[in-house]
Chains A and B, each alone.
Chain A
Amino acid sequence: MANKRWPENWQDVTPGCIVSEPGSASQYHTGDWRAQRPIWDNTKCIKCGVCYIFCPEGCIIEKEDGFFEADLDYCKGCGICAHECWPLAIKMVEEG
């Protein structure tokens, strides 16, 4: 969470903690939380897009060649994509 800037003092907190910058959640890179990451085996992938649909973060992107990958800035490593993949093309691998 080093990229987050907190108001220095309580006097600087916006009334009601209103966030006036639209889409500011994208500045918070939740990828920091990850303990495992999804790895695609493209020999097995049938490009069905189920992983893309089921990702709760919406961070799986379709590459130009039609295969998929996770945006590691936001991927929290929940493993739902690996769980839902029909041809078992996705494996969850420990970070570090």
Chain B
Amino acid sequence: MEIALAAAEAAALCRPDVIAAYPITPNTHIPEHLSDIVAEGRLDAEFICVESEHSALSACMGASGAGARVFTATSSQGLLYMAEIMAIASSMRLPVVMALGNRALSGPLNIWNDHSDIMSQRDTGWISLFASHGQEVIDMVIQSFRIAEDRDVMLPININLDGFQLTHVVEVMDFPLQEEVDAFLPVYKPYASLHPDHPCSMGTLGLPEIFAEATRAREAAVVNSRKTILKVWDEWEKRFGRRYEPIESYKMKGAEVAVLTMGSMGETAEVAIDALREKGVPVGLLKLKLWRPFPYEDLQKAVKGVKSLIVMDRAVSFGGPGGPVASEIRSALYDDPNRPDLTNYIFGLGGRDVTVEDFITMIDKVRLADKKRPKEHYEFYGVRGE
């Protein structure tokens, strides 16, 4: 089944009450298929065909405030159109679940895969998960409702799947049964809802006397959500036998060089790591699945003993000190006196394909480099003329 359709089926298994979404390539199949599921009568939900992504997230927020379980999906420019409300959904502590088919931000107009869309929204206070293949997409969509709606969390959450590289790829996947999802995901009991029997105000004005405290409280909520995420992942492993960790290690035993990826490029990197390990090269792979809250402890543990870390970025932070992922990793490891050397490659922009050979070339370039070579903060790979 196509992964985007699988994401829709997974969302439908979670029995959302309201789905408000607007189509945008490469994400369209997700809301489109959900509208089919609702029309067929397989899901009793209100599907609102809104006029824009701004309305989509607004409608989802309003519905969530009224106590409904909500789901939406978008990409790139659609996410930017929602940008005004992204921070508000987080500050209002509403458990909106969103699937993001990661697509490049325009200019020039590009509908293909890169991570610039989610990277532009990383500071909005949403929990962010990254899936690297279809099974992870299904699992993470279902886990997300459980994580977001937990009383200790109450935060919006986005599941990132690479546009086209994942959304339009057909894979064999395992769906949990409806009974299994119902057992895992209880009926949503909101902390507060806009019910006239117990009226409340949501999204009120916050004067300077309170804004700092409110923001501090929100940061605490995002950071503390880690406990619930790990607990939910433990339960998922018990129920379904598939293990999830904030950073998954692949062939890291004795690795001197490690590659860090996010999303579907991890699958390609695995093949490259296998090939290099065959030749006896001590190289391993770290697949980052939990982006927000940032997995500090897991990162520190994962790079212990690693001499050289290669961080792959699929987005640019123009004029910044490296790609978004590398800047954060570098900053997180700054205080560790034994931190590995960090090389940042920026590649795969706007859907540019990244192959196994590309990974091998990049890894060889780093591990065989002349140590006296001056280190730039980041390097573009695969750009003609570079």
Q: Is B45 an interface residue (CB 8 A)?
A: no
**Cβ–Cβ < 8 Å partners of A11 in chain B:** 217
**Residue B200 contacts which of A9, A13, A20 (CB distance < 8 angstroms)?**
A20
Listed residue (B154, B210, B216, B217) with the most chain A CB atoms within 10 angstroms of its CB: B217
B214 within 8 A of A: yes
Interface-centre pick from A1, A15, A17, A18 (highest chain B CB count, 10 A): A17
B169: Cβ under 8 A from any A Cβ: no
A10 touches B214 (CB 8 A): yes
Query: Could you say which residues of chain A place their CB within 8 Å of the CB of B200?
Result: 18-20, 22
**Bound complex: CA of A10 vs CA of B214, how far in Å?**
6
- Chain B residues near A18 (CB, 8 Å)? 191-192, 200-202
User: What 0/1 readout, one digit per residue, does chain A (1-32) give for beta carbons within 8 Å of chain B?
Assistant: 10010110111110111111010100000000
B201 x A15 contact (CB < 8 A): no
Chain B interfacial residues counted at CB < 8 A: 25
Q: Most chain-B Cβ atoms within 10 A of its Cβ — which of A13, A16, A19?
A: A16
For chain B, residues 202 to 220, give those with C-beta under 8 angstroms from any C-beta of chain A: 202-204, 206-207, 209-210, 212-214, 216-217, 220
Is B337 positioned at the interface, with any CB of A under 8 Å from its CB? no
Task: Please determine whether B199 and A22 come into contact, CB atoms closer than 8 angstroms.
Answer: yes
How long is the Cα–Cα vector from A53 to B96 in the complex, in angstroms?
A: 40
One of B201, B203, B213 near A10 (C-beta < 8 A): B213
Chain A residues with CB under 8 A of B93: 15-16
B221 at the interface (CB under 8 A from A): yes
Q: A10 and B216: CB pair below 8 A?
A: yes
In the bound complex, CA of A10 to CA of B92 (Å): 15
B207 CB to nearest A CB, Å: 8
Say which residue of B92, B94, B203, B213 sits within 8 Å of A7 (CB atoms): B213
Inter-chain CA distance A7–B94, complex, in Å, is: 22
Question: Are A6 and B214 closer than 8 Å at their CB atoms?
Answer: no
- Least distance between B125 CB and chain A CB atoms (Å): 11
Smallest CB–CB gap between A71 and chain B, Å? 21
Chain A residues whose CB sits within 8 angstroms of the CB of B212 once the complex forms = 10
Closest-by-CB residue of A relative to B215 is: A10
Taking a contact as CB atoms closer than 8 A, the residue among A6, A12, A17, A22 that contacts B204 in the complex is: A17
Given known contacts A16-B91, A16-B202, A10 and B192 CB-to-CB distance under 8 angstroms = no
Q: B214, A13: Cβ atoms under 8 Å? A: yes
On whether A16 and B201 interact (CB within 8 A), knowing A6-B210, A7-B210, A11-B217, the answer reads: no
Whether B214 and A17, one on each chain, are in contact in the complex, defined by CB atoms closer than 8 angstroms, is yes
Interface residues of B in 280-298 (CB under 8 A from A): none
- A17 vs B200: C-alpha distance when bound (angstroms): 10
Q: A6 to chain B: which residues have CB within 8 Å?
A: 209-210, 213
Residues of B within 8 A of A17 (CB): 91-92, 203-204, 206, 210, 214
Q: How far is the CB of A20 from chain B (nearest CB, A)?
A: 5
Name the interface residues of B169-208: CB closer than 8 Å to any CB of A: 191-192, 198-204, 206-207
The answer to whether A20 touches B213 (Cβ under 8 A) is no
In Å, the complex CA distance between A51 and B220 comes to 48
Kindly report which residue of chain B lies nearest to residue A19, judged by CB atoms: B201
Question: Measured between C-beta atoms, what is the minimum distance from B223 to chain A in Å?
Answer: 13
Residue ID in chain A nearest B94 by CB atoms: A16
Q: Which residues of B contact A20 (CB under 8 A)?
A: 192, 198, 200
Contact B213 A15 (CB under 8 A): no
Binding site for A on B (CB under 8 A): 91-94, 154, 191-192, 198-204, 206-207, 209-210, 212-214, 216-217, 220-221
Give 15 CB contacts A-B under 8 Å: A1-B207, A4-B209, A7-B213, A10-B217, A13-B214, A15-B192, A15-B217, A16-B94, A16-B191, A16-B192, A18-B191, A18-B201, A19-B201, A20-B198, A24-B201
Given contacts A10-B214, A18-B200, 6 further A-B contacts (CB under 8 A): A7-B210, A10-B220, A16-B92, A16-B94, A16-B192, A20-B200
For the complex of A and B, list the 3 residue pairs with the smallest distance between their C-beta atoms, beginning with the closest. A16-B93, A10-B213, A10-B216
> Which residues of A does B touch, CB under 8 Å?
1, 4, 6-7, 9-13, 15-20, 22, 24
